[in-house]
Amino acid sequence: MTGSSFLGIFFPDERATTVEDVDYQKLIDSGIKAVIFDLDNTIARWGDERLAEEIIDLFERLTSMGLKVGILSNSRNEVIEDFVIDLPFPHLFNANKPSRKGFRSILEELDVSPQEAAMIGDQLLTDVLGANRLNMFTVRVEPIDPEMEYRFTKLNRIGEKTLLFLREVYRFLRRIKEAACWNNNL
């Protein structure tokens, strides 16, 4: 569910501060049947060894609402992987997001189409871009701890800041164009 402009593929359909702030009922009402979460800095701090109880409670609440839950991560952290493996939810690690392959794999495991799934993550260049490439609904959350991130993620953040800047320039130029058109019509 990408935007109409070239840059739209990099931006989410919605934003929320945390995964707890997402309006899951709204997702259900719009036809979403599954929610796929990124791991690091979305539902767990980078380097954590387990998920917080609040996240486990959230997953239970979502499944009680009728949503399927999955975890899709580029993580190679074996300690938290061992913890997540014991959860009753589909998961895929080392997913190489934004590659479509990992997304397609978790969608197949959840038995939903891309249009029936929402991806929730903290990165534009992996979570949002990858899901948008399949026309999934996307929600970007703020990173749990932006100071604690993998080196490559820190490089991605520079790219994200560049994209956000370009989007603001585009919006500014569009407003100027609209104002010029308005003045020509007077």
pLDDT per residue as tens digits for the range 8-58: 788 899 999 999 999 999 999 999 999 999 998 899 887 777 888 999 999
pLDDT higher at 173 or 110 = 110
Find the mean pLDDT for residues 121-128: 90
What residue ranges do the domains of the chain occupy? 6-184
Dihedral angle over CA of 90, 91, 97, 103, nearest 10: -10
Residue-by-residue DSSP string for 58-105:
HHHHHHHTT-EEEEE-----HHHHHHHHTSSS-EESS--TTSHHHHHH
- The answer to whether 91 and 85 have CB atoms below 8 angstroms apart is yes
| CA 139 to chain CA mean position, Å | 5
pLDDT of amino acid 137: 97
Residues forming a β-bridge with 4: none
The CATH number of the domain covering residues in 6-184: 3.40.50.1000
Q: pTM for the full model? A: 0.81
- Determine the average pLDDT of the residues in 98-106: 95
Output the pLDDT for position 23.
Answer: 97
Over residues 129-147, the pLDDT tens digits come to: 999 999 999 999 998 876 6
